[in-house]
Amino acid sequence: MEVLSLLSVLILCSLVFLLVFACLFDADLTTIFCEKFGVDIKSKLKDKVIWITGASSGIGEALAVECLKNGSRVIISARREAQLESVKSKCLEVIPDSKSEDILVLPMDMCDFDSHKKCFDQVLAKFGRLDILINNAGRSQRARWEYTDINVDISLFQLNVFSVINLTRVVLPHMLENKSGTVAVTSSSAGKVGAPFSGTYTGSKHAIHGYFESLRTEKAGTGVDICLLCPGPTFSELLEVAATEKAGEQFGDKMSSGDKRMTSERCAQLSLVAIANRLFESWICFFPVSLVMYLNQYAPGTTKLILSVVGPKLAAKIRDSKNAMESKKFS
């Protein structure tokens, strides 16, 4: 009995420590530990060839800047070529020793699956290899579950899931042949916990975890790493272009500078910490989202009970610093 009592105390103390940690830091314990005591990111990423999708704004743009700061050569892809050129100009401006030849602007529509192989061929023609693929392209959603048109579900899964899978399948044989490489995927805190008023988005991110957890297990020992990045609320154009209940519609809301969100720069920094340290998964968020993440991981039943008491409106406010569903669009 004494051993069991001691074990119970240790488990309780560990849980309390994790919950306190979640209230104080902006990522999970492993990610923060690696940031403080892990590998030197610059030494790991210097001269690496990194392909970033969804790189025209937000987290993708910040990732491009951070990769170049660490001496990487980058490929930036998105549909908007003008925006990509703007990102390239910003990189060359803010990083004094960066070179134009280290940045390949590669416009690509992720949902045009036939273009993936052609684009990858351009990457190899330019740099000769690919070391890291960061699947960052995706779209969020603000919608009521029961009113969502099935075509919205199909469209979001095409972009958030199937395009990511297809591009990875194009790239993976190259990495397996070289016995090295990293496939990173920008998932979301919604990939771990059900987010209200984002049923399709949440489902797509849960699907991403299923696909890539399976891939990680299947390719263990091959030299190819799988890294799932789970950001919480982050400043970006996310709300403006988010899907709604109606096919082809954009939510069209803007984030406020006073919102409780992580900067895209900080999110990019922590993402690269996770990639450089070969982490399986990284939670990139702060209180109260981080607390929900830990509770859901170690006490899922209790978390679901708490969320049912808190209610969807307060949960939505925690996510967006307001209840975005109070928009007249959904009245």
CA distances from 109 to 38, 55, 126, 166 (A): 36, 12, 20, 12
Predicted confidence at residue 8, as pLDDT, reads 73
Tally of domains in the chain: 1
Q: Which two tokens stand for residue 232?
A: 């919480």
Cα separation values, 171 from 76, 181, 197, 244, 268, Å: 15, 10, 34, 32, 22
pLDDT of residue 16: 79
The verdict on residue 188 lying in a domain is yes
Residue 282 structural domain:
26-286
User: Which tens digit of pLDDT belongs to each residue from 231-258?
Assistant: 999 999 999 999 999 999 999 998 988 8
Determine, yes or no, domain membership for 329: no
| Residues annotated as part of the active site | 201
Tell me, yes or no, whether 242 lies in a domain.
Answer: yes
CATH number of the domain where residue 130 is located: 3.40.50.720
Which ranges of the chain have pLDDT less than 50? none
- How many angstroms separate the CA atoms of 166 and 168, rounded? 5
- Digit-coded pLDDT (tens) for 111-143: 999 999 999 999 999 999 999 999 999 999 999
- The answer to whether residue 304 is domain-embedded is no
Report the pLDDT value the prediction gives residue 76, as an integer from 0 to 100. 98
Q: What per-residue confidence (pLDDT) applies to 182? A: 98
- Determine, yes or no, domain membership for 302: no
Q: For 178-207, what is each residue's pLDDT tens digit? A: 999 999 999 999 999 999 999 999 999 999
> DSSP per residue over 198-216, as a string?
-HHHHHHHHHHHHHHHHHH
Helix (H, G, I), strand (E, B) or coil at 132: strand
In a domain, 203, yes or no: yes
Residue 307: what pLDDT? 87
pTM equals: 0.93
State residue 86 phi and psi, 5-degree precision: -65, -40
- Taking alpha carbons only, the member of 55, 37, 50, 26 closest to residue 231 is 26
